[in-house]
Amino acid sequence: MSLARSPLSRWALAAWAFAGLAAPPAVTAADWPCWRGPKRNGVSDETDWLDRWPAEGPPVAWKASVGTGYSSFAVAGGRVFTLGNTDHTDTVFCLDAETGKLLWSHAYPADLGDRFFAGGPTSTPTVDGDRVFTLGRWGDCFCFEAATGKVIWTKNVATETGIRVPGWGFSGSPLVHGDRLVLNVGEAGLALEKATGRRVWLSGNQEAGYSTPLPVPRGDGWDILLGSGKAYLAVDVATGKERWRIRWVTQYGCNAADPVVDGDRVFISTGYGKGGVLLRSGDGPEPEVIWRGKVLATQMSPSVLIDGHLYGADGDTGKQGPLKCVVFATGEERWAHPGFGTGAVTAAAGRLIALSERGELMVAPATPKGFAPTARAQVLGGQCWTVPVLAHGRLFCRNAEGDVVCLDVRKP
């Protein structure tokens, strides 16, 4: 890529380099301000936390009930944000991360949408400095003052753009990138000005997938990777212009899991027996396929990548599939721990933090040698598809019914 092709591209580079730097500073090291965390890879930098506890589990700091849904947690500035639905009303919750005390909430009417699952919001709030952004399944997008819950702006992006709502509604969390808010809405995303909600660019009126927009640096800018209805694709965040795509047809258009990226290699995986593919993205419109197989079929929550190995849930909900370790470069399976179901995995300090679909929390070294938990505990009942979040020595877990448990895993 020539950086000096035109004055405009140089300007664009400068703008985006600045924008890329501008996003993180308001966040302290152990905050987890958005879906998949500050590095957007599901891996936390925290090292000082308990990876062993008695059979009854680590101490419970607090519990809360937030209503039906699968929204995970954003933790920043001592506040924790999540979403839930009760009586066909979505509520945005801001709780005190230490005590679970309700700091503020904001409710708006929203259908539960319990078609083939429990329903409720499936995206996670995104904190950006003193703002928090949310996106509901039917297109209700909000920008709040993080401290008070005051609405800075709001709009329904489906109504405003006329873009069709996919079968399960919009499920990707909002991405703040520079001065933009990027949403997985439309065939290849929608970008708004984060300050005002004004539209910057819009993609075709075709069904979105269910992944969260994932920013990846490119020589002269940033691409956003998205699961679309029938493809995974990359668009230039500056213009919305498509950079590459791989046709990827999954049952019910359920391209849900975020890609897992390492340099120019992109791992894509979906459920319903589809499986995964490792791509190498270049300058062309079609990435090169490195391997493709059914070893790891991610229906919902994406895998984490640690030291060249993917760790994630394989198979569809209700089938009690395994948690697997798969070699990123080759697709070889290293181990499979049965009965995990469509739970979810995060990681920190070389250890997996895995919450099974049935609510069993396990901590185990992230190693291809095998899955050997150093600690486990039944922390929730019901159905757990939502990835737990570790921040400031607290571990936040929830189930579909909206039971939240905050565990204290700080070292004494």
Partner 1 sequence: MATWNRRRVLAAGAAAAAWGAAPAVRAAHPARRYRTAVIGPGWWGRNILKEAIAAGRAQVVGLCDPDPNVVEVAADQVADLCGDTPKPYADFRELLEQSKPEVVIVASPDHWHALQTIAALKAGAHVYVEKPTGHTVRESRAMVKAAREAGRVVQVGLHRRVGPHHASAMRFLKEGGAGTVGMVRLFAHYGGGAERPAPNGDPPEGMDWDLYCGPAPKRPFNRRIHPGGFRQFLDFANGQLGDWGVHWLDQVMMWADGASPRRVYSTGGRPVRGAPVLTDREQTTDAPDHQVAVYEFDAFTCVWEHRQFAANQAEKHGIGAYFYGSKGTLHLGWRDGWTFYPANAKGGQVLHEDAQLQEPDGHNLKLLWADFLAAIDTGSAPAAGIERAHRSSVLPLLGMLSLKIGRSLRWDGEKEEIVGDPEANALLARPYRAPWTYPA
**Residue 253 carries which DSSP code?**
G
Closer residue to partner 1 (CB): 149 or 382: 382
The β-bridge relationship of strands 60-65 and 74-76 is: unpaired
- Tell me the closest approach of the beta carbon of residue 24 to partner 1, in angstroms: 38
Q: Rule CB under 8 A: choose which of 20, 167, 368, 393 binds partner 1.
A: 167
Q: How many helices (H) and strands (E) does the chain have?
A: 2, 33
> Considering only CA atoms, which of 352, 350, 409 is closest in space to residue 379?
409
Which part of the chain contacts partner 1 (CB under 8 A), choosing from 72-80, 105-113, 128-136, 297-305? 105-113
Contact region for partner 1 (CB under 8 A) — 18-26, 160-168, 219-227, 301-309?
160-168
Q: Which of 10, 101, 115, 198 binds partner 1 (CB under 8 A)?
A: 115
Identity of the residue, 91 or 250, whose beta carbon is nearer to partner 1 in the bound complex: 250
CA distance 267 to 197: 31
Query: Applying CB under 8 A, does 253 fall inside the site for partner 1?
Result: yes
116 sits near partner 1 (criterion: CB under 8 A): yes
Choose one: 210-218, 251-259, 303-311, 325-333; the region binding partner 1 (CB under 8 A): 251-259
Binding residues with partner 1: total (CB under 8 A): 23
Phi, psi of 399 (to 5 degrees): -115, 175
In 210-274, DSSP assigns E strands to 214-218, 221-227, 231-236, 242-247, 260-262, 265-270
Kindly tell me which residue out of 40, 155, 164, 334 binds partner 1, with binding defined by CB under 8 A: 164
| 258: helix, strand or coil | coil
Is residue 111 within the footprint of partner 1 (CB under 8 A)?
yes
Helices (H), 204-263: none
d(C-alpha 266, C-alpha 280), whole Å: 6
Name the residue nearer to partner 1 (CB basis): 112 or 362: 112
Q: What do you get for the CA distance between the two ends of the chain, in Å?
A: 51
* Least distance in angstroms from the C-beta of 164 to partner 1: 6
Sole window of 18-26, 247-255, 302-310, 387-395 interacting with partner 1 (rule: CB under 8 A): 247-255
Give the largest Cα separation in the chain, rounded.
63
Under the binding rule (CB under 8 A), the answer on residue 316 touching partner 1 is: yes
Fill in the amino acid letter for 403: D
Cβ(321)–Cβ(313) below 8 Å: yes
Each as own residue / partner, the long-range contacts of residues 3-11 (CB below 8 Å, 24 or more positions apart, any chain) are 3/219, 3/220, 9/220
Near partner 1 by CB under 8 A: residue from 252, 334, 349, 392: 252
Which positions ≥6 away from 218 have C-beta within 8 Å?
A: 1, 243
Q: Which of the ranges 102-110, 112-120, 368-376, 378-386 carries the binding residues for partner 1, by CB under 8 A?
A: 112-120
Coil/strand/helix, residue 40: coil
Q: What type of residue sits at position 410? A: R
CB-neighbour burial class of residue 167 (10 A; exposed 0-12, middle 13-18, buried 19+)? middle
Minimum gap (Å) between residue 160 Cβ and partner 1: 16
Site string for partner 1, 13-52 (x = CB under 8 A): ----------------------------------------
Q: CA–CA separation, 213 vs 235, rounded Å?
A: 10
For position 273 contacting partner 1 by CB under 8 A, the verdict is yes
With contacts defined by CB under 8 A, name the span among 56-64, 67-75, 108-116, 330-338 that binds partner 1. 108-116
Minimum distance from residue 377 beta carbon to partner 1 (Å) = 27
Q: Where does this chain bind partner 1 (CB under 8 A)? A: 88, 111-113, 115-116, 164-165, 167, 206-207, 229-230, 249-253, 273-274, 316, 318-319
